[in-house]
Structure 1
Amino acid sequence: MMALSKAGVLKADPVSVTGWLGRRYPGHQYTPTDEGKKYITPEGTICYGKARLVKILSWDPVVNVAGTSFTKVYFTYRIDGLPEWALRPDVQATFPNLASAVQGQEHARMAMPMALADGHWQRE
C-alpha cells in the first residue's frame, strides 16, 4: 500500500493500532487521493486499465456437455488506459500480478473458457 501512496494513488496517514494484549503498534490508514479515486471500482478494488483482445492464437476442440458447447480460447491482450503509476517499478514490485499483466502485454498467452449460449460464444 505504501507504494501506491508514493505513486499518489493513496494517502497514508500514520495511526497507532492496538494489537495482541493491548500492545500499540505504528501503522497507516490509507485513503484514496483525488487521483486515486479515478481507479477505485465500486467493489473497492483498484483498476489499472481495461484489457483488450489483440489476437486469438488458438482454441481447444469444442466439447458438448449436457447440451452446451464449451471450449477454451488462447489469446494475447493489450491494456488500454494504463496509468503511469502502474508502470512504476516500486508499484510493480509490490503487486507482482500487476507487473505480470503489464509486462505480458501482446506476448503472454492467456486462456479463457468459453460457452456457446444463444448462438454467441461467451466467457464462462
Structure 2
Amino acid sequence: MKHRLSLPLLLVVVAIGCDKKVANSSNLEKGLNHYLTAQQQCPNTHAADFPTQPIVARTDYDAYAKVGLVSKVPSALDGNGQPRFIYDLTSKGKDTQYKGKILSGNETPRIFCFGTLKVDKILNFTDPAPNQGVSETHVYYTTKLVDTPDWLADPDIQGVFRNFPTIMEVNRRKIRASQGLPDNSKMEAAMGLTAEGWRVPQDM
C-alpha cells in the first residue's frame, strides 16, 4: 500500500528542503563553492607585468609563448652575445585574466588562469553547534578543477605549474587512479550560518 503525504505536510517538507539555513549537503556545497570559486587558480602574474624584457631566460614565459598566451620577439643581444626577448600578452593571453569575485577586496586579478575549483562531493559534516554566537559545522569534502583550458595539457605548461597545489592534487589523483588505488583526498572547512546561508569564515 502506497502512502501519500498530505498537501500541508508536503509543503512543509519542501520548505525545509529549500531553506538555505538547513545544514544539508546541498546548502553546504553552495556555500563552499561560493568560497572556492573565488580562489584564483592562476600564477602570481598580472597583465601589468607585460610587456617585459627579462634579463635572464624565463622558461615559464617560453612555455606561455609556446601555447600562444604571449608573443616572443627578439630585441637585442646581452653582454655575452645571447639574444634577449620582449614578451607581451596576446589576445589569447589577455582572455586568461581572472574574471571572478575576489574575497579579500584588495588583490588585483591575475592572468594565465587555468580553471575553477569546485566541490566534487560532500563526504560528511558535523551537527551544527554554537560557537561564539554562530551556528557552526565542520564539513569534509573533495574538490575538482573544472573549466580547464586546452593549453593546460601542454607538457611545458605542466612543468610551470607542477608545484601549484591544485595541479599537484590533480596529478596525485591521476597517479593513484593509474595504480588502481582509491582516491583518499579529503578537505575540511568550518562553516558558519549567516543570513545568506552557510559560509566559510573568510567568505562571511
Question: Which TM-score applies when normalising by structure 1?
Answer: 0.68
Counterpart residue identity of residue 6, structure 1? K
Cα distance, 1:29 vs structure 2: 3.9
Give me the CA root mean square deviation: 3.3
1:38-77 mapped onto 2 (5 Å cutoff)? 38-41=95-98, 43-59=109-125, 62=128, 64-77=130-143
| Residues 94, 111 of structure 2: 8 Å contact kept | no
Cα distance, 1:15 vs structure 2: 5.0
Q: Which has the larger radius of gyration?
A: 2
| Other structure's SS at 1:115 match | strand
Alpha-carbon distance in structure 1 between the residues aligned to 2:193 and 2:167 = 32
Cα distance, 1:28 vs structure 2: 4.2
Larger deviation, residues 61-70 vs 75-84: 61-70
| Other structure's SS at 1:47 match | coil
Structure with greater proportional strand content: 1
Alpha-carbon distance in structure 2 between the residues aligned to 1:29 and 1:90 = 20
Q: Does 1:8 align with 2:85?
A: no
| Other structure's SS at 1:4 match | helix
| Residues 122, 141 of structure 2: 8 Å contact kept | yes
Question: Which TM-score applies when normalising by structure 2?
Answer: 0.46
The 3 A distance-change label for structure 1 pair 13 and 82 is same
Unaligned runs of 5+ in 1: none
Cα distance, 1:89 vs structure 2: 1.8
Count of residues in correspondence between the two structures = 119
| Residues 52, 78 of structure 1: 8 Å contact kept | yes
Identity of matched residues, %: 26
Cα distance, 1:27 vs structure 2: 4.8
Cα distance, 1:57 vs structure 2: 1.7
Task: Kindly indicate whether structure 1 or structure 2 has the higher relative contact order, using CA contacts under 8 Å at least 6 residues apart.
Answer: 2
Cα distance, 1:66 vs structure 2: 2.2
Cα distance, 1:85 vs structure 2: 1.0
Structure with greater proportional helix content: 2
| Other structure's SS at 1:51 match | strand
| Other structure's SS at 2:91 match | coil
